[in-house]
Amino acid sequence: MATDWKLSGSYFETCNCEAACPCVFLSPPTTGDCTVLVGWHIDRGAHEGRSLDGLNVVLAVHSPGHMAEVKWKAALYLDQRASDEQRESLTTIFGGQAGGHPAVLASHIGEILGVSTVPIEFYSQGKRRSLSIPDIAEAEIQAIDGRGGDATVENHILAIAPGHPAVVARSTSMSYDDHGLSWSMSNKTGFYSPFTYQGA
């Protein structure tokens, strides 16, 4: 297991649950199952001496029930700008083989539907986040106004970015069509925050 790696940047997620997602409090998903898109933009990163700066990663997840109680189906999408060596590093990290928090996330996955190299656009400005994979996935979220600042959630058991308060958001759009899964919706849950991962 490789331990000499570290990533930092920004992430966001959006799913089909009503805002804010009950799954993060270990309650059942709003509709009985959960469909999730998670995107990461790596500002700074290195794995085994390879720079991963500026690259994007997306994970599409379907959980057929309570996310903490059933295994997920997932598809991983890697930035086509990555070299072969960088793709190997990203697959190792986000597939959970390099340890750290991605290994915790990967422990929930029961079936990998595929690992694809695709063009990924990740956009972050103010209270808005979006991602795009042509002909596969589109998602955009915007923060929900809180009282005196952003509404946030932190230290929940299903956190994508532990150690960073997640800003609560709502989707303006989310669609996905690949591996026999297809969904399209809006006005549902979103979260975003910085993330920091490293080998342990």
pLDDT tens digits, 66-94: 877 889 999 999 999 999 999 999 999 99
pLDDT band at 41 (very low <50, low <70, confident <90, very high): very high
In angstroms, the Cα distances linking 54 to 39, 79, 109, 123, 150 are 13, 10, 26, 12, 26
State pLDDT tens for residues 90-130: 999 999 999 999 999 999 999 999 999 999 999 999 999 99
Contact 40, 9 (CB under 8 A): yes
**pTM listed for this prediction:** 0.93
84 burial (CB, 10 Å; 0-12 / 13-18 / 19+) is: exposed
Amino acid at 117: T
Q: Residue range 42-70: average pLDDT?
A: 93
- CA–CA separation, 137 vs 114, rounded Å? 15
pLDDT band at 24 (very low <50, low <70, confident <90, very high): low
Contact 136, 129 (CB under 8 A): no
- CA–CA separation, 152 vs 96, rounded Å? 27
